[in-house]
């Protein structure tokens, strides 16, 4: 069985995130971890607060992009970091999940880059042997 994972790769003036997992719902946690890794060493404090997402769309790749865009908004606007993901649905046309968030611990975090957006460039979710692979490009 494939373990959820992510890897970062350089992409012109942007940065890419490649995520692999055994199922679509299992892509969510490493995708978020990859986003935070692009930003730097992001550390959440102890304070927990749940946030629910229920996104609809036309394809799983766009839903994953929209999910990461929501995480970026939580980070930038509310200074909140996802610490756990509980996906309830992730299909071609719907992504529903509840995440636990903690307030960004600015003292322990090392923020290296500003992520401006999650782009549609080279956006892809595809079936691979043992699971799924997603490719996302972030504008830094």
Give, for all 140 residues of the chain, the pLDDT tens digit. 778 888 888 777 789 999 999 999 999 999 999 999 999 999 999 888 999 999 999 999 999 999 999 999 999 999 999 999 999 999 999 999 999 999 999 999 999 999 999 999 999 999 999 999 999 999 99
Tokens (6 digits) for 58: 């036309």
Domain around 59: 5-139
- Tally of structural domains, the chain: 1
Please give the model's pTM, rounded to 2 decimal places. Answer: 0.92
Give me the CATH number covering residue 74: 3.55.10.10
């Amino acid at each position: 069985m494939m373990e959820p994972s992510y890897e970062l790769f350089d992409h012109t003036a942007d940065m890419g995130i490649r995520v692999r997992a055994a199922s679509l719902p299992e892509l969510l946690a490493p995708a978020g971890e990859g986003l935070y890794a692009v930003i730097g060493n992001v550390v959440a404090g102890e304070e927990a607060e749940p946030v629910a997402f229920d996104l609809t769309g036309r394809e799983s790749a766009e839903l994953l992009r929209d999910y990461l865009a929501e995480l970026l908004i939580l980070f930038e606007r509310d200074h909140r970091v996802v610490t756990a993901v509980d996906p309830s649905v992730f299909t071609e046309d719907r992504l529903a999940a509840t995440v636990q968030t903690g307030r960004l611990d600015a003292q322990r975090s090392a923020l290296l880059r500003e992520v401006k957006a999650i782009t549609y460039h080279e956006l892809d979710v595809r079936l691979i042997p043992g699971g799924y692979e997603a490719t996302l490009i972030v504008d830094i």
